[in-house]
Amino acid sequence: MTTADRVARARALMDLGRHDQARGLLAEALAEMPGDAAAWSSMARCCYRTDDFESALHAADQALAHNPALAAAWRWRALSLAELKRWQEAHRAAAEAVGREPQNWSGHMIMARGLLADPARGGDDRRARDAAHRARELAPHEAETHFYAGRVAERAGREAEAEACYREALRLNPEQRSARNQLALIQMRRGENYAAAQGFAAVAASAKGAELGIHNLKVVAVRLISRARWISVGALAVAEAGVIAVPDGGWAVRGALMAALLVGWAVWAVWAARQVPPQLRMPLLRTVRGSAYVLLVLLGVAAFTLAAFVLLLVPALAPFWGEVVLAAVALQLTALRTAAVLVRKAKQRVE
């Protein structure tokens, strides 16, 4: 097998996702022809696809040492530098790739991706927007170009436009977990928990999206539990009002009030269950059962109801209801603060 044959076969293997075999063939080819820039560029691609970003950067640099005009090598260099969070170098490499092949959509897409991921840049960055839109103009048939156009729109607060972009990306490639995750985040913010849970579950089931999808499923659970805070507040108010209004009320009155509280929680439970697809209810429960975040939020939301039942069961505590309320408020505020932090940390997907 000639060197050219090895490189061609390696590229075919990479297209099939068999990167380990491809890397071996490329290593053989480069041992025979260490000055082959195209082979080094293919090695950079292979290393990048297996998350070996340092090796990918080394291979891209070797390719450029032998052929500084090779745009593909500049693209792999930009991507590798971005993964290594060397943002300024990544931007320069992406600009080189675009300058050498301005009609190649992937160079513009890499530029948009790097600018979006750079923590030093926020909001509707003009360069990111222009790069994303140019990539989409050049390759409207590629799902990734619509995804990055959507990310730019979402960062600028244009959620309707972002949603349209993500849906188009999924139409072109239903397996695009990045677009599915971002679409589910938009749906969750709109209160469409049913659709959001479906989206996050699909992300969790993908090859590399388990951690991302599971984290965001926990966020959905926290949001559902947090909605019950008004029931818990109302429960304590009803209990205190009942004890004060009927101080000598017997078990019949207190039993009726406790039944009302249980009905309120049952209504919430039915509502919450309907917010999650039936096939996801048990998996979601298993997912959140061991989460300290979720358990703390659940305890905080239940604090007022627990206080309400204590007052109804032991009406002698009514004179001390202020202390009971303060304890419940402290616990609930702590839990809701935890929930707010977790919701804010709902994970985005940039790649």
Of these ranges, 111-120, 127-136, 297-306, the one predicted with the greatest mean pLDDT is 127-136
Q: Which of 97-106, 214-223, 224-233 has the lowest mean pLDDT?
A: 224-233
Report whether 47 contacts 55 (CB < 8 A): yes
Of these ranges, 99-103, 228-232, 267-271, the one predicted with the greatest mean pLDDT is 99-103
Mean pLDDT across the chain: 82
Q: What is the pLDDT of residue 214?
A: 80
- Residue 325 and residue 40: Cα distance in Å, rounded? 68
How far is C-alpha 340 from the geometric centre of its chain's CA atoms?
16
Report which of 98, 105, 116, 121 is spatially closest to residue 152, judged by C-alpha positions.
Answer: 116
**Cα dihedral across residues 157, 160, 166, 172: positive or negative:** negative
State mean pLDDT over 325-330. Answer: 62
Q: What is the pLDDT of residue 333?
A: 64
pLDDT at 292 over 80: no
Mapped onto helix, strand or coil, the DSSP state of residue 350 is coil
Cβ contacts of 291 within 8 Å, gap of 6 or more = 218, 221
pLDDT, tens only, 11-64: 888 888 888 888 888 888 888 888 899 999 999 999 998 889 999 999 999 999
* DSSP annotation string for 167-220: HHHHHH-TT-HHHHHHHHHHHHHTT-HHHHHHHHHHHHHSTT-HHHHHHHHHHH
Mapped onto helix, strand or coil, the DSSP state of residue 348 is coil
Report which of 290, 281, 142, 286 is spatially closest to residue 224, judged by C-alpha positions.
Answer: 281
pLDDT at 108 over 90: yes
Give percent of the chain above pLDDT 90.
32
C-alpha distances in angstroms, 147 versus 78, 83, 114, 166? 19, 18, 14, 6
Structure confidence at residue 318 as a pLDDT band (50, 70, 90): low
Report whether 74 contacts 93 (CB < 8 A): yes
pLDDT, tens only, 250-289: 667 777 777 877 887 788 888 878 888 887 777 777 766 7
pLDDT at 323 over 60: no
pLDDT at 343 over 70: no
pLDDT, tens only, 146-174: 999 999 999 888 999 999 999 999 999 99
